Structure 1
Amino acid sequence: MYFAALLARTEDGWEASDTELDDVETLSDLADLAREATAEYDDDTVLVFIEQEGAWFGVVRVDGEEDPRIYVSDAAAAARSSYGEILLTDEMLGRDPDDDEGVVDLDALDLDGTEDGEPEASEADPEPDGDPSASGVPSGPVGDLRILADLGVPEKDLLGLESGEALNEIAEILGAAEVLETVR
């Protein structure tokens, strides 16, 4: 089960809205969604909160037209999630986007997942034993650890948050707990 919400900082404080991520396929789509939802508050900070029931959480920060900043609490857990994959950019994971090694060409596979018989193990499963870290996705937090520092959540506190209650704790620090709770 996922939860996603937008928090926009305005002159009057924080405003929250729940959001559907069904049409979001890329980080750029997510940033555009955040900007559109708060178009009337030009250049204000927008936070996108995404959480998967106690497994991981992510925060995307969009400040006006600047590139989004991202923090993910557990990259390995997020890598197993369609919404998490949106947040885990090649740059964040230190991967070369032009490097095709370890990438399965899904178009070349038959519907049953085989390619002219059984593929070799390295082709069939780029993550041996289901371990995302084997494909370059680290276990643990990744991204901008200072994403919320200027809003009162220093790096040390962000790293100390437990999935499940993290978004509520961040909202509490921001003074937005009540508005977040209205969309939860």
Structure 2
Amino acid sequence: MYFAALLARTHDGWQASDTELDDVETLSDLTDLARDASVDEDTVLLFIEQEDAWFGIVRVEGEEDPRIFVSDAAAAARSSYGEMLTNELLGGDDDDPADDLDALDLDGTEDGETQADDDEDTADGGALDSGDTVSAGPVGDREILMDLGLSEKELLALDTDALLEIAEALGAGEVLETVR
């Protein structure tokens, strides 16, 4: 199960809103979703978390390219939304991202496959169906939140309930809790 929320910086602080990812098929869709939540093209953070397996942050500011961080590339690559982010970061095969999303259930397993089967298939470090191998560990822009008060070291030290800890470091813990 996924949790997704948007944090948009405003003149009065942060505004949070939960968001549905049902219609999201590409990184461009995620970026557009964040831009739609932006106030005066200010910073918007899109948080995605799959249970306690991994979390991702997409940072969008105006028309700049999105900045992305994923806490565990191997775990994320086994889920539909995480695969979208890791493919962007690692240059994965993106012939038709909709095909990849359609083939995956929301728990990150393929149709007819159980989570245990998926874990066995990826026990060697995250082998994907395409034959690519994704290493466990963080990937992406480790300084994504540095100017907002969360250092690279602090970001890499986060484990469970990371999104709330990030929001608290940004002064947005209470607003994130309202949508959680």
Q: Same fold (TM over 0.5)?
A: yes
Shift of the alpha carbon at 1:86? 1.8
Task: Spell out the pairing of 1:1-184 with structure 2 (5 A cutoff).
Answer: 1-38=1-38, 41-90=39-88, 92-95=89-92, 129-130=121-122, 131=124, 132-133=126-127, 135-162=132-159, 164-184=160-180
Question: Following the alignment from structure 1 to structure 2, what is the Cα–Cα distance between the partners of residues 129 and 6?
Answer: 33
Following the alignment from structure 1 to structure 2, what is the Cα–Cα distance between the partners of residues 129 and 2?
22
RMSD over aligned CA atoms reads 2.3
| Structure 1 unmatched runs, 5+ | 99-105, 107-111, 113-127
Instruction: Give 1:117's aligned residue.
Output: none
Looking at structure 2, the residues matched to 56 and 96 of structure 1 have their Cα atoms a distance apart, in angstroms, of: 21
**Map of 1:122 onto structure 2:** none
Give CA-to-partner distance per residue, 1:35-66, whole Å, 9 cap, x none. 1122xx12200000000110000000001110
Q: Distance in 2 between matches of 1:70 and 1:94?
A: 13
Q: Distance in 2 between matches of 1:6 and 1:156?
A: 23
1:71 counterpart letter in structure 2: F
Structure 1, residues 51-109: CA drift from partner, whole Å, max 9, x if none? Answer: 0110000000001110000000001101111111121134x2155768xxxxxxx9xxx
Contact 1:171 1:180 in 2 (8 A): yes
Report the secondary structure of 1:33's partner residue: helix
Q: Quote the Cα distance in structure 1 between the aligned partners of 2:175 and 2:94.
A: 38
Query: Separation in 2 of the partners of 1:169 and 1:97?
Result: 32
Moved more, 170-179 or 29-38: 29-38
Report the CA distance shift for 1:23/1:159 in structure 2 as closer, same or farther (over 3 A).
same
Contact 1:95 1:136 (C-alpha < 8 Å) held by counterparts? no
Q: Number of aligned pairs?
A: 155
Name the structure, 1 or 2, with higher relative contact order (CA <8 Å, separation 6+).
1
d(CA) in 1 for partners of 2:94 and 2:19?
A: 29
Structure 1 residue identity aligned to 2:90:
L
Q: Distance in 2 between matches of 1:6 and 1:89?
A: 21
Give the 3-state SS of the residue equivalent to 1:88 in structure 2.
helix
Contact residue 37 and residue 44 of structure 2 kept, 8 A: no
Q: Which deviates more from structure 2 when the two are superposed, residues 132-141 or residues 2-11?
A: 132-141
Deviation at 1:136, TM superposition (A): 3.0
Give the whole-Å Cα distance in 1 for the aligned partners of 2:51 and 2:23. 21
Residue identity matched to 2:144: I
